[in-house]
Structure formats: structure tokens, C-alpha cells
Amino acid sequence: MAPGSAPARPRGWLNGFRGAGPLARALAAYRPHTAALAVLLHLGSSATEAFGFLLLIPLLHAAGAGAADDRQDRIAELMAGLADAVGAELALPAALGGFVALAAVRAATVWQRDVLLARMRLDFVHRFRVTLHAAVARAKWRSLAGQRQSDLQHVLTGDVHRVGQAAAHLVKVTSAGLLAVTQLAVAVLISPPVSAVALAAGALFLALTGPLLRRSRVLGDQLTGVNRVIFAHVLDFLVGLKLAKSFTSERVHVHRFDAAVAAARRRQLAATTAGATARATLNLGTAVALAGVAWFTVVEAGLALPELAVLVAIFARVMFALVNLQQSAHELANTLPAYHHAQGMLLALRRAAEDAGRGSGESAHEPPPMALNAGLAVRAVSFDYGEQGGRPALTGVTFDIPAGEITALSGPSGAGKSTLADILLGLLEPTSGSVLVDGSPLGDANRRPWRRSAAYVPQEPYLFHDTIRANLAWARPGATDDDLWRALRAAAAEDFVKALRHGLDTVAGDRGGRLSGGERQRIALARALLAEPALLVLDEATSQLDAQTERGVVAALRALRGRMTIIAVAHRPALLDAADRVVLLDSGRVVGAR
């Protein structure tokens, strides 16, 4: 199911609960034993409360609150039989003690149930978030490159947060429903006719709020889309903040953000209004129903005062449960679209997974890296991004890359150099043709081991908001300081890092913002060299270096001949002159080589 696609919708007010079944099954399947225990605790707490209500009837009669009749005799016999079963006498002290004991048991059961359900819900949301995160990590690069980063961020944060809310409201709906059912069962024991009247009244008022429930679902769908737009605006604003300031266009960003937030506010207010209207309707209906039940009980059913008092207490409890059920149902209908969207995204990511047959529970053991002894062979490689009306990025590209040498890819912008570099890294799969590693085709079976053999330095390197030491060690955990300084020396970065006040412990800033462009490139190159890859791919990795620093980096790359294979996407003379061979690309084709 692709994100945003909709399954067949049930008709009527049940449409508001579309998706509740899959969410309930997912919750139960995650911890089936815990879910079963929670249901038993639900039933236990409801049963103890029910017996407590039944126990009140003989107590009230014993206190002289009304004359006994056949119904009271049956209930008294039932309670007396239970007392005999536990070896007690149904006298006032024992009955009162039993009532308090039942209340204590129920309190303990409810506490255990609530803690258990909270743990199960939080664990489920945590696992769902990790599953989504792992699915993103496992998806093919082409699929991820086609997604807006803000959409992925929204799913991993906003949608998952609302999934947690949906799970909580689902639990509340279940609790309120079970409570109402058990209380009604007790009411039926006291007076079936009165219970039938009360049940009909409750069903009528729930039906009246059905349209509002469907409205909450529609608003929840719309809110999911609007929140996605807000995430997109926030990310675009933060990433492009420097550009926005340089063009003095901050007001445009603020206006767009304000419009998106206002749209979300309107939908949230509409959902709150729908819920409040339904709650007010049900509260009024509850008062009318209780009055009607009391009148029917006294005038038509002719119950004594004890039965009347207990029935009113029971129906007040039932109506309270129905109000809670209605409120939680509206919140559930409003948050379920988040689960629907997140689940759709998860399925799409799993379909795009690199390793066939792997779900979210990937093995912690990665395959060992591959060796590169003879070199790479590119054979009739073509690639098409599938853009309507666009030309292929690569067409029939064929050439060889000997191991241990420097091969430069050069050509005008849009020639296909970066696309070819991504294919050689194993990030993209050719539309047709093949890449051979030491004579073996690069495919699904060996793509991840191959990437563990390679290192990549992009034109715009990414550094984490962490120390330079941590940014380097990310490529090789456990590397010593000597290893780090050796890699920095090879990337012509040793001197400037030593000149920093905190040296290796200097924080690079968000995305490396505290360093210059050239410094970031050299740190990224040092990180790649620290991994000691078999293949090093540089995508305009010296574009922001001054001439003197670039000469030092090029000299270091020359010293790596014979130790690693280097592919450099370049157009500057220093790297082109250092290359053992240069492959010229234009419009996705090889047009020359030297």
C-alpha cells in the first residue's frame, strides 16, 4: 500500500474507525500474552465492581430500605451462595467488609491493568518508531532520494507521536466498552426490562453522534496532510535560512509557515468542536436517559428502593462509560489517519528494501567488505530516473577502472558524472548494463558488502553536531588518536585542526557550520581515508579548497596509488593532471578518454 492510498472504506459511522482493527491487531500481536492479561484484568476489575453493586441490594434491604420481592430473593440467594463458598455469613459486618475488600481488589487490579497497558502501548510505539527508522535505513537510495526529507521526518516524529495517541485512545475505548458491558450485565440481573430501555437510549444517543465521529475522521485525514506541509516549511526554512536572509525573504517563509499553521489550527479547532458537540449531546442525553429510566423503574417496573438506587448508580456508571467511550472514539477517529499514513510509508519502504526478504529486524552482523584486486569494469551501463519527458542520465557507458589507480570522471554539468559515481558506489542500480567488481557482477547479493569496501566524499560534506574526533571515528570506531592524526595529515587537515583551541575535541557545529567549506571538505576526506577503503569516490571533493591546500590533498592522493582505487569526479586541473586516466562524459555518454 503506497503512502496516501486508501483501503475500501466501510459505510456509515464505522468509517470513523477505519484502521482501528489493524492497529488493535498490531498492539495485540506485539505482546499477545500481555494483551491477554490486560483483558483478564479488565474483566476482573469490572467483575469486582459488579459484585460490589449486587452486594448493596441485600444490605439495603437488611437496613429496612424496602420490602423484598422475588428479584431481591434471587440476588440474595446468589450472594449468600457466594458467601457460603468462601465460608462467610452474609451479615452486615461481613457484607460491609466484603464490599470494602472488593473495592480494594478492584483498585489493585485497575492499577496493575493501567500500568500494564501503559507499558504495552509505550513499548509498541517505541518498537514501531524503531521499525520505521530501520526501514528507512534499509531502503534503496533511489527510493529515498525520491522522498522529501520532511515527509520522512514527519512520519518518524509527528505521525508516530499521533500513533501513540491513537493507541492510547483505542485502549480507552476498549476499557469503556468493557465497563459498559459488565455493568449492563449486572443491570439485566436486577431488571431486564429496565436494562433494555437503558440500552436502547444509550444506543440512540451514540447513533446521533455518528456523523460527528465521521467528521472527526475526515478532519484527522486533513490534519495529517497539513502537518506534513508544516514539517516541509520548517525544514526548508531552517536549511535555507542563510539564503533567505541573503535575499531578505524571511517574511515570505514566515507567511507560508503562518498559513500552514493556521490551516492546522482550523482543523484542530473543528475536530475539538465536533468532539465537544458530541460530548454535550451525550451528556444531555445521559440526563434524559437517567430520568427516563428512573420514571420507568418506579412507574412501570415497580422496583423497590434498593433496586432503584442500585440501578440508578449502575446506569450513571454506564452513561459515564459511554461519555468516555464517545470522547475517546472521537480522538481515536482523529488520530487513526496517522497510523494509516505511517503504516503505508512503512510498507512502501519495505518494498524498496535492499535485501529481499528482510523486514525491520535486520541482523546486527553486517557482511565483511569485499576486496578489489583487478579493478572495476563498466559495461553498457544506462540509467533513467524515469522523469517524464527527460532524457536518460546515462546511455551505454563502457570503460575500465584499474585497481590501485586514480580515474577521473570529467565533463560539463549534467553529463551524468555524479549518477555514475552513485552506481559505482552501489547506491543506484543501472537501468541496464552492469558493473563488474573483479569480474563479478555487482548486484543485490553483494551490494552491501561492496559499499563496506568503499568510502565517499561529496561536494557538500555532512558533519555531525559533534566533535571532530567523533566525526572522524564515525568511519572507524575504535580508531586511536594516532590513526586520526594520520588521516588528517593525509587530507592536509592536520595543521588547521591543531590550531583549533580544543583540537580534536572542537565541536564542528550543526552540519559543520563552525568550519569553513574547505575545512569541512578536508575533515570529510580524512574521515573517508580513516576507513581505509578499497574504493574511494570523490565528488568534486576539492572544489572549495584554495590552490595550495588542493596541491597538498592531490599529493596525498598520489601517495595512495597502489593502496586504494580512487575515482574522482573533477573538472579542476590539479586532480585531472594527477589522474592516471580521465573519462570524459557528455549528455550521459562517454565521448573521450585519455
Residue 321 has pLDDT above 80, yes or no: no
**Closest to 217 (Cα-Cα) out of 57, 465, 16, 50:** 16
Residue 577 has pLDDT above 70, yes or no: yes
CB neighbour class for 450 (10 Å; exposed up to 12, middle 13-18, buried from 19): buried
Domain range list for the chain: 21-351, 375-593
Mean pLDDT of 516-522: 87
Residue 181 has pLDDT above 70, yes or no: yes
Give the Cβ contact number of residue 418 at 10 Å. Answer: 18
Query: Mean pLDDT: which of 457-461, 470-474, 570-574 is highest?
Result: 470-474
pLDDT bracket for residue 5 (50, 70, 90): very low
Residue 559 has pLDDT above 60, yes or no: yes
pLDDT at 92: 55
d(CA 222, CA 224): 5
First-residue to last-residue Cα distance in the chain = 49
- Kindly report which listed range (45-59, 74-88, 141-155, 377-391) carries the lowest average pLDDT score: 74-88
pLDDT at 67: 47
Asked whether this chain's domains 21-351 and 375-593 adopt the same fold, the reply is no
pLDDT bracket for residue 90 (50, 70, 90): low
**Do the bridges between strand 394-402 and strand 375-383 make them parallel or antiparallel, or are there none, so unpaired?**
antiparallel
pLDDT bracket for residue 6 (50, 70, 90): very low
Q: What is the pLDDT of residues 384-436, one digit of tens each?
A: 987 655 788 999 999 999 999 999 999 998 899 999 999 999 999 999 999 99
d(CA 391, CA 37): 60
Q: Is there a contact between 286 and 322 (Cβ–Cβ < 8 Å)? A: yes
pLDDT bracket for residue 79 (50, 70, 90): low
pLDDT at 10: 44
Mean pLDDT of 532-542: 89
The per-residue pLDDT of the chain, averaged, comes to 78
Give me the architecture of the 21-351 domain, per CATH. Answer: Up-down Bundle (1.20)
Which H helix or E strand runs over 568? strand 565-569
State the maximum Cα–Cα separation within the chain, in Å, rounded to a whole number. 111
Mean pLDDT of 16-22: 69
pLDDT at 356: 44
pLDDT at 359: 38
Sheet architecture: strand order including 406-410: 454-457, 535-539, 565-569, 406-410, 581-586, 589-593
What residues have CB less than 8 Å from 529, skipping those under 6 apart? Answer: 455, 487, 490, 491, 536, 560
pLDDT at 1: 37
Query: Mean pLDDT: which of 167-171, 192-196, 205-209, 418-422 is highest?
Result: 418-422
Residue 337 has pLDDT above 90, yes or no: no
d(CA 298, CA 199): 18
Q: Which long-range contacts (CB under 8 A, 24 or more apart) does 135-140 make?
A: 135/346, 135/349, 135/350, 135/353, 135/360, 136/349, 138/349, 138/353, 138/354, 138/355, 138/358, 138/360, 138/362, 139/349, 139/352, 139/353, 139/354, 140/352, 140/353, 140/354, 140/429
pLDDT at 57: 58
Angle separating helix axes 32-62 and 92-138, nearest 10 degrees: 160
Q: Is there a contact between 431 and 384 (Cβ–Cβ < 8 Å)? A: yes
pLDDT bracket for residue 358 (50, 70, 90): very low
375-593 has which CATH code? 3.40.50.300
pTM here?
Answer: 0.73
- Kindly report which listed range (87-96, 256-265, 339-348) carries the lowest average pLDDT score: 87-96
Q: What is the pLDDT of residues 218-230, one digit of tens each?
A: 777 777 788 888 8
Q: Is there a contact between 44 and 109 (Cβ–Cβ < 8 Å)? A: yes
pLDDT bracket for residue 66 (50, 70, 90): very low
Q: What is the pLDDT of residues 267-307, one digit of tens each?
A: 878 877 877 777 777 677 767 766 776 676 666 655 666 66
pLDDT bracket for residue 572 (50, 70, 90): confident
pLDDT bracket for residue 483 (50, 70, 90): very high
Greater confidence, 363 or 593?
593
Q: What is the pLDDT of residues 150-177, one digit of tens each?
A: 888 888 888 888 888 888 888 777 777 7
